[in-house]
Amino acid sequence: MKQLFKTIFFITLLSIGAVIAHAQKTEQLNFINAKALTLIGKSEETQNVYDRIDSNKYKGLPTRVAQLLTNSAGLAISFKTNSTVISAKWCVSKSRALANMFPTAHKGVDLYIKRGDKWQFAGIGKVGGVCNDELIISRMDNTEKECLLYLPLYDKVDEVQIGVDKKANIAPGEEPFAKRVLIYGSSIVQGTGASRPGMAYPARLSRLTGINFINLGLSGSAKMEPEVIDMVAAIHADAYILDCVPNTNPALIKERTAYMINTIRSKHPKVPIIVMQSVIRESGYWDKTLGETVKNQNINIQQEVLALLDKGVKDLYFITSEKMLGNDHEGTVDGVHPNDLGYERMLAHIQPLITDILKKYNIKLDKN
């Protein structure tokens, strides 16, 4: 028993020590405004640096779309440092927790560090309130490292600062990814169900391929409205991926698909346009009405794309979704949105198809 008390006392001391060490670490850090570093993943320059798009530049956008464009989904800070510690301060809105999202994906940040030629996860900044000050990783060696700090997927962020050792260097990183592939789509693009910002599928595609996939996920609102499509078409990219089937309905798909594809084609005559079917909604196996709706959405999008191909539209591709999330029905958080397991399976399905298409257009890393 005496031994037990000694052990408990020792553990308590260790815990207190850890708290003091954390406090000392934070005070000893040098914080730099992330605006002085490199911001990647943007569709275009914006007045508010962490918005994805200046919605007032485009006429007639639905209010919800304009609001979602202020979410920092897909944005990341690229920097180089030899610091042994990396910390972050960032502010988000007061919006309530989302019932089907991890708090870190919703309002938190996560860090990747280059290891050899691969980006490797290093740690998260947990969200605890509107303004956050979190130690992400510490006790590293002091070699220079290339870092990527992903920003929240579903909130507007502000005042991002990166903290490093007082004696360490920190400098803007290079743009780590080549070319630009815009992904317009639903919450599945924006990242609902992912456990942290870097696990959204466009971010994972970028790290896996070296190509710059831009997240234009508009949760619940990727409805192919003509005004939104005009905005999508106005953004320069080397390829366009359209993963917007889940947010519409079979009738809207018939009504709007041709306008979407023709508009992008007319502005960008020779770039590849890749249209994706909706993931099969797991709840649809039981909810017969939902199952039928998704089936009809997927039939209609396929018919629309085939009709355009018949009419001679070139450089247009189609990815089907059958078994995209595997066959054990465990790949979603809620019957609709993939979890990290579902996204892994989805990537295994779409990544080779997408990279094969992009290679034909020389959209690849030079080394590949």
Residues of this chain that interact with its own copies (CB under 8 A) are: 3-4, 7, 10-11, 14, 97-104, 108, 113, 115, 120-124, 126-128, 137-141, 193, 195-196, 199, 204, 225-226, 249, 251-252, 255, 282-283, 285-290, 329-335, 339-344
Nearer to its own copies, 43 or 339 (CB): 339
**What are the residues whose beta carbons fall under 8 Å from the beta carbon of 304, sequence distance 6 or more?**
253, 254, 257, 258, 261
Find the helix packing angle between 250-267 and 226-234, rounded to 10°. Answer: 30
Q: What are phi and psi of 144, to 5 degrees?
A: -70, 135
In angstroms, how far is CA 171 from the centroid of its own chain?
Answer: 24
Amino acid, res. 67 = Q
Helix axes of 250-267 and 288-310: crossing angle, nearest 10 degrees? 30
Query: Which is nearer to its own copies, 162 or 363 (by Cβ)?
Result: 162
Q: How far is the CB of 183 from its own copies (least distance, A)?
A: 19
Q: How far is the CB of 243 from its own copies (least distance, A)?
A: 20
The DSSP line for 31-71 is EEEGGGSEEES-SS--SSTT-SS-GGGSTT--HHHHHHTTS
> What is the smallest separation between the CB atom of 317 and its own copies, expressed in angstroms?
27
Of the pair 47, 289, the CB lying nearest its own copies is at 289
Q: What's the closest the beta carbon of residue 10 comes to its own copies, in angstroms?
A: 8
SS3 166: coil
Query: In angstroms, what is the minimal distance from the CB of 300 to its own copies?
Result: 14
For residues 238 and 304, which CB has a smaller minimum distance to its own copies in the complex? 304
What is the nearest approach in angstroms of its own copies to the Cβ of residue 80? 15
d(CA 251, CA 239): 27
Indicate the residue among 172 and 326 with the shorter CB distance to its own copies. 326
Closer Cβ to its own copies, 195 or 321, answer by number: 195
Interhelix angle for 201-209 vs 340-360, to 10°? 50
